[in-house]
């Protein structure tokens, strides 16, 4: 639990420091009215009711986002979270995620741009459906007008349908990936 608290504190500290300086414009323009695909991968660490099933897992997925504002996007999210390991013989839970969310950036146009994300949806795993929500903070680095890279830390809360918070499987993760902008014709 101490590692979890330190991770949350570090994420908030990075967010606060990055918010204190106004960067120069990137020269690539804003992402307003742009469709963006973000393939990603990362590591996840359970902190909830996983028992002794797993200490670490991985995630892969992608988001399809549409920027409705220069600083904000709505998204559809697809992902796979696995906590099993063939090497150690551990058979932890696996989740397939489908959901939606929103991401808000600190600046309109910056080469390095911090953001916050909230998302939720259906976590289907181990023959049962669960609902969940996740929160994250991260940063986007734009290398060209249509290509960027991001890194994010996030918290996931997965609730058993109809069971309440006592059946919550919590985990936090670190993800990274690409940001591919599709021209919108503007």
Indicate the average pLDDT of the chain: 81
* pLDDT tens per residue across span 69-98: 999 999 999 999 887 655 545 566 777 889
In sequence order, the β-bridge partners of residue 76 are: 64, 100
Sequence-ordered list of residues with C-beta below 8 angstroms from that of 118, at least 6 positions apart, any chain: 101, 102, 133, 134, 135
pLDDT at 27: 82
> How many CB atoms sit inside 10 A of residue 182's CB?
12
Domains in the chain (CATH in brackets) are 2-182 (2.40.160.20)
Place of tokens 């063939």: 86
Q: Above 60 in pLDDT, residue 165? A: no
């Amino acid at each position: 639990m101490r590692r979890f608290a330190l991770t949350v504190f570090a994420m908030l500290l990075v967010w606060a420091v990055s918010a204190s300086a106004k960067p120069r414009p990137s020269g690539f323009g804003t992402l307003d009215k742009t469709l963006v695909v973000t393939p990603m991968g990362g590591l996840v660490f359970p902190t909830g009711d996983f028992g002794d099933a797993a200490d670490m897992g991985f995630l892969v997925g992608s988001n399809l986002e549409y920027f409705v504002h220069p600083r904000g996007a709505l998204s559809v999210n697809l992902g796979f979270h696995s906590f099993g390991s063939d090497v150690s013989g551990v058979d932890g839970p696996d989740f397939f995620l489908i959901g939606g969310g929103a991401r808000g950036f600190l600046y309109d146009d910056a080469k390095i741009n911090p953001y916050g994300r909230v998302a939720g949806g259906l976590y289907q795993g181990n023959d049962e459906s669960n609902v969940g929500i996740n929160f994250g903070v991260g940063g986007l680095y734009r290398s060209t007008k249509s290509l960027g890279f991001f890194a994010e830390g996030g918290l996931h809360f997965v609730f058993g349908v109809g069971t309440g918070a006592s059946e919550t499987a919590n985990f936090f993760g670190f993800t990274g990936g690409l940001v591919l902008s599709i021209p919108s014709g503007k």
